[in-house]
């Protein structure tokens, strides 16, 4: 289903997700450097928003297709954009 | 919407109605491809006589497959006879017809316009046949490179299961199978990152009676919708792909592989192909993060929590 655009605000879960990705890619770096980097990112995370477009099939009612869309729509850190144009 | 498990037009109505019943009517819905790029219903039916039957053909033969819980495991049960109807027919909707409408713009152009409006900031979540996204790439070759990344529910590596749909055809997966050429185009595009929720990890995440019972206790509109209309329980493929994007710590194991789709019109048409660095072909295949295991309790709790939260 194409046609949903969602804004993921920089909430706690999203920040932790970003943090994990950052750490996963920084294994060779010294811990102190990583902490400094994460600290900088945490400031940016509060202001950053992430966007997602859903493109999928949508059999229904209920079922996996509809529940997957609901998972993104219901996520507390996701803000659905009402009028994207 | 894209034709997959059902035809596009009935999917559009079911989705619009879901958005109404769960309080998300501010979300626009765009209609996409009715048919795959190359594969046809008739050729697929004829090929079955030579290559054998396919367990699930989506819109071309609908019937509810569900999981029966049996002493700590699950057993898939499919109907003997699958029913189908024409691409533009819409059977009576149990949940009622929506009053809201899809937008006029088609899905491929909607995708392009949104990505170009927010360059390098949009993740594309693809949990059906990849026809719309392949069309977007064909129309705008810069499309993939202008996103933040792609999340796919699709593909199969080596699922450990006795589910007959996958036990005898370990590289078969419906979303890739339904439109193999679209999957081929999408997997070779220049995405910054591709995460693939495979059959391997999806079949470890069934929708259990316990989860449904917990969701049903909530009065949230989403929980009421699920309690009313999701009594049929199956694997949480698409839900896992969505939740893993929200929280990547759900995924405990993944493989970095070069991934493509078999385009030969034989028994393996639409099957998942993978290679490592040493054996990959020199024809533009790309690396994906193929998910193979998950933190199941974490996922189950996250999904129940999401469905029971009241959004304002």
Interface test with B, best of A4, A11, A20, A61 (most B CBs within 10 A): A61
Chain centroid, CA B165 distance in Å: 16
pLDDT over 50 (residue A19): no
Q: Count other C-beta atoms under 10 Å from residue B72's C-beta.
A: 5
Nearest-Cα residue of chain A relative to residue B3: A57
pLDDT of the residue at B279: 97
Where is mean pLDDT largest: A39-43, A77-81, B45-49, B136-140?
Answer: B136-140
ipTM of the complex: 0.94
Interface test with B, best of A12, A21, A74 (most B CBs within 10 A): A74
Residues of chain B with pLDDT under 70: 62-67, 71-74, 76-82, 312
Closest CA to B60 of B129, B127, B122, B121: B129
pLDDT over 50 (residue A35): no
pLDDT of the residue at B165: 84
In chain B the domains, ranked by start, together with CATH numbers, are 8-83+98-308 (3.90.245.10)
Interface test with A, best of B8, B25, B28 (most A CBs within 10 A): B28
B30/A2 touch (CB, cutoff 8 Å), yes or no? yes
Return d(Cα B227, Cα B214) in angstroms, integer.
Answer: 10
Closest CA to B252 of B305, B204, B206, B209: B204
Q: Which helix (H) or strand (E) holds B107?
A: helix B107-117
B1/A71 touch (CB, cutoff 8 Å), yes or no? no
pLDDT of the residue at B164: 82
Closest CA to A1 of B147, B242, B273: B242
> Which band of pLDDT confidence, cut at 50, 70 and 90, is reported for residue A79?
low
Nearest-Cα residue of chain B relative to residue A49: B121
pLDDT of the residue at A50: 77
pLDDT over 90 (residue A4): no
Please name the residues in contact with B173: beta carbons below 8 A apart, sequence gap of 6 or more: B154, B155, B156, B198, B199, B272
Closest CA to B10 of B65, B109, B82, B86: B86
Report residue B145 as tokens: 């490179």
pLDDT of the residue at A51: 87
Q: Which helix (H) or strand (E) holds B272?
A: strand B272-275
Report residue B184 as tokens: 């081929």
pLDDT of the residue at A40: 40
Is residue B209 within 8 A of residue B233, CB to CB? The reply is: yes
Nearest-Cα residue of chain A relative to residue B220: A74
Burial of B159 (0-12, 13-18, 19+ CB in 10 A): buried
> What HEC string does B65-105 produce?
CEEEEECCEEEEECCCCCECCCCCCCCCCCCCCCCCCCECC
| CA distances, B158 to each of B126, B139, B169 (Å) | 21, 34, 9
- For residue A51, list chain B residues with Cβ-Cβ distance below 8 A: 114, 118, 121-123, 148
pLDDT of the residue at B231: 77
Report residue B20 as tokens: 């109404």
- For residue A19, list chain B residues with Cβ-Cβ distance below 8 A: none
B1/A3 touch (CB, cutoff 8 Å), yes or no? yes
CA atoms within 13 A on the CB side of B215: 28
pLDDT of the residue at B136: 98
Closest CA to A82 of B29, B224, B126, B111: B29
* DSSP result, B234-266: -B-HHHHHHHHHH-GGGEEEEEEEEEEE--SSS
pLDDT of the residue at B53: 86
Nearest-Cα residue of chain B relative to residue A5: B27
- For residue B246, list chain A residues with Cβ-Cβ distance below 8 A: 8, 13-14, 17, 71-72, 75, 77-78
> Which band of pLDDT confidence, cut at 50, 70 and 90, is reported for residue A36?
very low
Nearest-Cα residue of chain A relative to residue B300: A71
CA dihedral B179, B181, B183, B188 (to 10 degrees): -170
Query: How far does the CA of residue B276 sit from the closest CA of chain A (Å)?
Result: 20
Q: Which helix (H) or strand (E) holds A42?
A: helix A31-47
């Amino acid at each position: 289903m194409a046609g949903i655009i969602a804004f993921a605000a920089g909430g706690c879960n999203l920040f932790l997700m970003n943090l994990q990705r950052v750490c996963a890619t920084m294994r060779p770096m010294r811990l102190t450097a990583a902490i400094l980097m994460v600290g900088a990112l945490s400031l940016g995370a509060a202001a950053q928003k992430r966007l997602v477009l859903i493109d999928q099939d949508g059999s229904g009612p209920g079922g996996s297709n509809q529940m997957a869309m609901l998972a993104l729509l219901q996520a507390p850190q996701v803000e659905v954009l009402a009028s994207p144009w | 919407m894209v034709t997959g498990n059902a035809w596009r037009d009935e999917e559009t109505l079911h989705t619009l109605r879901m958005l109404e019943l769960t309080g998300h009517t501010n979300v626009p819905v765009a209609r996409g491809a009715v048919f795959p790029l190359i594969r046809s219903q008739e050729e697929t039916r004829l090929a079955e006589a030579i290559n054998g039957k396919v367990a699930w053909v989506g819109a071309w033969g609908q019937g509810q497959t569900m999981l029966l819980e049996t002493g700590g495991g699950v057993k898939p049960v499919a109907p003997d006879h699958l029913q189908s109807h024409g691409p533009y027919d819409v059977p009576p909707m149990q949940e009622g017809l929506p009053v809201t409408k899809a937008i006029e713009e088609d899905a491929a152009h909607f995708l392009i316009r949104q990505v170009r409006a927010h360059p390098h900031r949009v993740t594309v979540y693809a949990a059906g046949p990849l026809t719309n996204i392949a069309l977007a790439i064909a129309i705008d070759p810069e499309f993939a490179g202008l996103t933040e990344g792609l999340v796919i529910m699709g593909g199969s590596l080596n699922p450990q299961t006795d589910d007959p749909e996958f036990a005898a055809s370990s590289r078969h997966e419906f979303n890739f199978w339904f439109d193999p050429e679209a999957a081929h185009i999408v997997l070779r595009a220049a995405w910054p990152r591709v995460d693939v929720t495979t059959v391997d990890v999806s079949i470890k995440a069934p929708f259990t009676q316990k989860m449904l019972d917990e969701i049903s206790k909530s009065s949230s509109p989403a929980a009421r919708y699920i309690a009313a209309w999701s009594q049929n329980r199956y694997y949480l493929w698409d839900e896992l792909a969505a939740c893993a994007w929200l929280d990547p710590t759900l995924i405990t194991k993944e493989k970095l592989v070069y991934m493509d789709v078999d385009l030969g019109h034989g028994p393996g048409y639409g099957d998942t192909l993978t290679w490592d660095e040493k054996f990959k072909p020199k024809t533009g295949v790309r690396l994906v993060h193929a998910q193979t295991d998950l933190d199941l309790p974490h996922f189950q709790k996250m999904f129940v929590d999401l469905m029971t939260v009241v959004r304002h």
